[in-house]
Amino acid sequence: MLCNNRNLGWRIDRFLGLAIGALVVLGMTSANGLAQEPPRRLVYEAYVDDNWELVELDLSSGETTNLTNTPDLHELYPQVSPDGDSICFLCDELRDGQTVRSVEWMKLDGSQRKRLAENVREPAWSPDGSFIVFAKQEFDRFNILDYVSKGLLVYEVATGETRTAGNDAIHHIYNPNVGPDGKWIVTTVHGGMGFRHAIIGIEIDGERVVDLGISGCRPCLSGDGTRITWSSDDHTINVAELSWSEKGPSLSDSRVLHHEDSMHTYHPELSPDGRFVVFSVGPGGRVLENGPGTHTQVAEMIGVRGHWRLLLREVDSDAEPRWLTEGEEQTSKEADWIPGD
């Protein structure tokens, strides 16, 4: 279903005319237009008081909670464990004038925080919560480009040990997702592994690579790995069904979930049951560094402070989408669901 942003009132003048810094959370029940109720809670990255923080949103009450509150560190890209008990994320800090990007872990209440690795990229949980994968940074010096990675690391939760994945050909990937059997990742690759730009399946400890045959980037899998969503271009969110075999993943029934004529759409995240997708909507293009912890690059990249709002859609319904955050200066992106509700 293609959405006409003129009819829905999502013009840029409306977007920029909202009260500065206002945050409005809309009710999320079937009485408000949705066919079903979504999961109750999610967490996203937000730029709050000149600092990147992780913010929890309760959809039923509209209450928000800052989970990090660290004025000297910048938390980004939250990934909640399958049991909803803990969270891993990226942490940026300034060290000797240079950004150091790390993967960190903590309980969802903020306790027991620890650093897993430095000079690494976006983490992803295995479906059973037993390990976390993340790509190594390609160069010692930090680069804001999302695909500047080389190699894959696997952190074993039970032992606290980190090993190198057996597939040593992995490079220039970003936004990895671990498949249901824990043996594959689905990820974007850019200028590497024989691809110009693609969404592919990669065997973690083998050599096999599967081209899913779809354009775009930033894929996300449902909890059981049977559904996938991604940004097929700057303005469109797609969904499809996914099946798995010994040969890896294969895709079917690709379709458009949401389209914007002028605004950009990125960072789609399927709810664990695959019924809902939350994603970011905002002006795209190149954004200049505009505060501590921010960088100059295109708006959708991690650490770039574009003006994004979160929008929620049902996958198998024509129900109207619902805004979750509002405000001219709002920066709300890279959301993830909190399982268990």
Task: Return the pLDDT at 267.
Answer: 98
The answer, yes or no, to whether residue 25 has pLDDT greater than 70, is no
Residue 4: inside a domain = no
Range in 32-36, 58-62, 249-253 with the lowest mean pLDDT: 32-36
The answer, yes or no, to whether residue 21 has pLDDT greater than 90, is no
Q: Quick one: average pLDDT of 8-23?
A: 33
CB 333 within 8 A of CB 45: yes
Range in 8-12, 97-101, 136-140, 142-146 with the lowest mean pLDDT: 8-12
pLDDT tier for residue 35 given thresholds of 50, 70 and 90 = confident
Helix runs in 162-302, H state only: none
Residue 1: inside a domain = no
Q: Quick one: average pLDDT of 162-185?
A: 97
pLDDT tier for residue 90 given thresholds of 50, 70 and 90 = very high
Residue 295: inside a domain = yes
Distance CA 38, CA 309 (A): 18
Residue 3: inside a domain = no
Contacts of 37 (CB under 8 A, 6+ apart): 28, 29, 30
The answer, yes or no, to whether residue 33 has pLDDT greater than 70, is no
The answer, yes or no, to whether residue 247 has pLDDT greater than 70, is yes
Sign (positive/negative) of CA torsion 91, 92, 94, 97?
Answer: positive
Task: Return the pLDDT at 329.
Answer: 78
Distance CA 118, CA 231 (A): 28
CB 117 within 8 A of CB 162: yes
Distance CA 137, CA 150 (A): 6
Q: CATH no. for residue 325?
A: 2.120.10.30
241-251 as b/e: b if 16+ CB within 10 A: ebebeeebbeb
258 bridge partner residues: 237
pLDDT tens digits, 233-245: 999 999 999 999 9
SS3 315: coil
User: Between β-strands 264-270 and 41-47, what pairing exists: parallel, antiparallel or unpaired?
Assistant: unpaired
The answer, yes or no, to whether residue 70 has pLDDT greater than 70, is yes
SS3 83: coil
Task: Return the pLDDT at 308.
Answer: 96
Provide the number of structural domains found in the chain: 1
Say how many C-beta atoms besides its own lie within 10 A of residue 18's C-beta: 16
Task: Return the pLDDT at 327.
Answer: 81
- Helices H / strands E in the chain, number of each: 1, 26
The answer, yes or no, to whether residue 23 has pLDDT greater than 50, is no
pLDDT tier for residue 8 given thresholds of 50, 70 and 90 = very low
Task: Return the pLDDT at 30.
Answer: 47
Q: Quick one: average pLDDT of 122-140?
A: 97
- How far out from the chain centre does Cα 273 lie? 17
Residue 250: inside a domain = yes
Range of the domain at 267: 12-337
The answer, yes or no, to whether residue 295 has pLDDT greater than 90, is yes
Task: Return the pLDDT at 260.
Answer: 98
Q: Quick one: average pLDDT of 197-226?
A: 97
Task: Return the pLDDT at 19.
Answer: 30
Task: Tell me the CA distances in angstroms from 213 to 102, 198, 199, 223, 246, one per residue in order.
Answer: 32, 8, 7, 22, 18
Name the residue type at position 98: Q
Q: Quick one: average pLDDT of 239-257?
A: 97
From 270, 262, 156, select the one nearest 224 (Cα to Cα).
270
Residue 170: inside a domain = yes
Q: Considering only residues 27 and 330, tell me which one the structure prediction assigns the higher pLDDT.
A: 330
The answer, yes or no, to whether residue 29 has pLDDT greater than 60, is no
Task: Return the pLDDT at 160.
Answer: 97
Q: What phi, psi does 10 have (nearest 5°)? A: -100, 50
Task: Return the pLDDT at 328.
Answer: 73
Task: Return the pLDDT at 99.
Answer: 97
Torsion, Cα of 36, 41, 45, 46 (10° steps): 90
From 309, 70, 336, select the one nearest 221 (Cα to Cα).
336
Task: Return the pLDDT at 341.
Answer: 64
Structure tokens belonging to residue 181: 């059997």
Residue 36: inside a domain = yes
The answer, yes or no, to whether residue 4 has pLDDT greater than 80, is no
Structure tokens belonging to residue 145: 């480009």
- The mean predicted confidence, pLDDT, of the chain is 90
Residue 5: inside a domain = no
pLDDT tier for residue 313 given thresholds of 50, 70 and 90 = very high
CB 81 within 8 A of CB 67: no
Q: Quick one: average pLDDT of 56-60?
A: 95
Question: Look-up: residue for tokens 């942003």?
Answer: 5
Q: Quick one: average pLDDT of 266-284?
A: 97
